[in-house]
């Protein structure tokens, strides 16, 4: 019998271990070459969508599709955006002019529709179109020129209804969708996509009676064209967060559209429905002139707004304001323009008190007056 010496046994074990390692490497490489292409090109399972984007608000049963949330928004919100045709003058073939705009059904039970005042101002006849076949005559519930809002009423079966959201939660850069009827019924319910470009912008536009009005608006780069006025600006939850109103249409300017925040719209349409009109706070001064820093330096007067007139028995007169006073602050916030004053006053309601700081030209010291605001005469 052959004997194995200790040295030979050690070499045998080393040889066996090397052989096993080599064989494992060959088998592993072969398996990798076989399975890797199949795993690499195998479609991955869909990722779980982020929480909060797929939770539909109550009353909106549609679920977001795999394509895009915009597809769902167009399907579920689009039907509640209507076309508004307002005829001014006598007839379609004579002196009549037809203005085209958009509107949003926000109360299907009563058939209430919100739109812009400038769309229906001066109209003798108003119609609302849901599509090419469904057109209804509309009655004007009420309108407010200063906010550029109006409420219409139609009667029709199974009217779709949009859901109003909360514009106070909006953030700059948030994706929004604009839906409306640019250029009339031929392009009904056109859908455009953009972002919130800015919050709390102020734009001054001519009112329907020629008086300039200042609107506090959302700025968006979602394309808004003539006929979109009164249409919907929608967030990715399918909620109306603004009513499209105006656009800067100047040479070299693109992507500057504006919408009235829905939180500003709500109290206006509530007043229109309950009262038929909207009350606005009234300070009781007029013929206001801005005192610029240059004028203040030249004439040695304070920067602010010069009061050229005070309504007799108005709120300001009752509090003690006089012609020649310079308003320098409202509610302890400096003011330099008429718009500054209006912005702060418009946060109040008739009957509320407001503190106005003035400087009299003969007095070096500022004086505070507490004024109880009245109601703006119609």
pLDDT at 351: 92
pLDDT digits (tens, 9 = 90+) for 119-171: 998 888 999 988 767 888 999 999 998 889 999 999 988 899 999 999 989 99
Closest CA to 120 of 91, 161, 151, 82: 151
pLDDT at 93: 56
Contact between 172 and 200 under an 8 Å Cβ cutoff? The reply is no
Extract the residue ranges of the chain whose pLDDT is less than 50: 1-6, 18, 21, 26, 29, 32-66, 249-253
Q: Catalytic residue, from 144, 148, 221, 264: name it.
A: 148
Spatial separation of the C-alpha atoms in residues 34 and 91, rounded to whole Å? 79
- For 6, the 3-state DSSP assignment is helix
Closest CA to 288 of 348, 328, 361, 337: 337
Enter the DSSP assignment of 185: G
Q: Is 148 a catalytic residue?
A: yes
Enter the DSSP assignment of 84: E
Task: Render 205-271 in DSSP notation, one character per residue.
Answer: EE-TTS-EEEEEEEEE-S---TT-TT-EEE-TTS-EEEEEEEE---TT--S-EEEEEHHHHHHHHHH
Q: Catalytic residue, from 129, 229, 264, 325: name it.
A: 229
Spatial separation of the C-alpha atoms in residues 225 and 255, rounded to whole Å? 10
Q: How far is CA 50 from CA 53, 54, 76, 177, in A?
A: 6, 8, 21, 20
Q: Is 280 a catalytic residue?
A: no
Report the 3 state secondary structure along 280-335: CEECCEEEEEEECHHHHHHHCCCCEEEEEEECCCCHHHHHCCCCCCEEEEECCEEC
Q: Catalytic residue, from 80, 102, 118, 221: name it.
A: 118
pLDDT at 124: 84
pLDDT at 240: 94
- For 362, the 3-state DSSP assignment is coil
Q: Which residues are CB-neighbours of 65 under 8 A, at least 6 positions away?
A: 71, 72
Q: Is 229 a catalytic residue?
A: yes
pLDDT at 202: 81
Contact between 235 and 261 under an 8 Å Cβ cutoff? The reply is no
């Amino acid at each position: 019998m052959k004997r194995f010496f200790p040295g030979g046994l050690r070499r045998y074990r080393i040889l066996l271990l090397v052989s096993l390692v080599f064989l494992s490497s060959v088998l592993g490489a072969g398996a990798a070459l076989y399975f890797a292409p199949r795993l690499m090109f195998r479609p991955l399972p869909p990722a779980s969508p982020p929480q909060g984007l797929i939770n539909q608000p109550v009353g909106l049963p549609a679920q977001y599709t795999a394509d895009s949330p915009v597809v769902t928004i167009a399907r579920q919100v689009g039907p509640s955006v209507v076309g508004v045709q307002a005829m001014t003058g006598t007839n379609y073939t004579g002196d009549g002019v037809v203005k085209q705009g958009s509107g949003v059904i926000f109360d299907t039970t009563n058939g209430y529709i919100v739109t812009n005042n400038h769309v229906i101002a001066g109209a003798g006849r108003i119609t609302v179109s849901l599509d090419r076949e469904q057109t209804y005559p509309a009655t004007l519930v009420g309108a407010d020129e200063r906010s550029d809002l109006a409420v219409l009423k139609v009667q029709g079966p199974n009217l779709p209804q949009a859901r109003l959201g909360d514009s106070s939660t909006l953030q700059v850069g948030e994706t929004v969708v604009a839906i409306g009827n640019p250029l009339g019924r031929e392009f009904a319910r056109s859908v455009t996509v953009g972002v919130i470009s800015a919050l709390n912008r102020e734009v001054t536009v001519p009112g329907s009676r020629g008086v300039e009005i200042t609107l506090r608006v959302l700025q968006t780069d979602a394309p808004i064209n003539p006929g979109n006025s009164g249409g919907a600006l929608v967030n990715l939850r399918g909620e109306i967060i603004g009513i499209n109103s105006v656009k800067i249409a100047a040479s070299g300017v693109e992507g500057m559209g504006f919408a009235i925040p829905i939180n500003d719209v709500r109290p206006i349409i509530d007043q229109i429905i309950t009262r038929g009109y909207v009350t606005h706070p009234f300070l009781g001064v007029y013929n206001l002139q801005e005192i610029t820093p240059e004028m203040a330096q030249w004439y040695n007067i304070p920067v602010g707004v010069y009061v050229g007139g005070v309504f007799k028995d108005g709120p300001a007169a009752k509090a003690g304001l006089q012609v020649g006073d310079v308003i320098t602050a409202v509610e302890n916030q400096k003011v330099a323009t008429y718009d500054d004053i209006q912005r702060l006053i418009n946060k109040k309601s008739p009957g509320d008190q407001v503190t106005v700081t003035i400087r009299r030209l003969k007095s070096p010291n500022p004086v505070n007056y507490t004024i109880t605001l009245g109601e703006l005469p119609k």
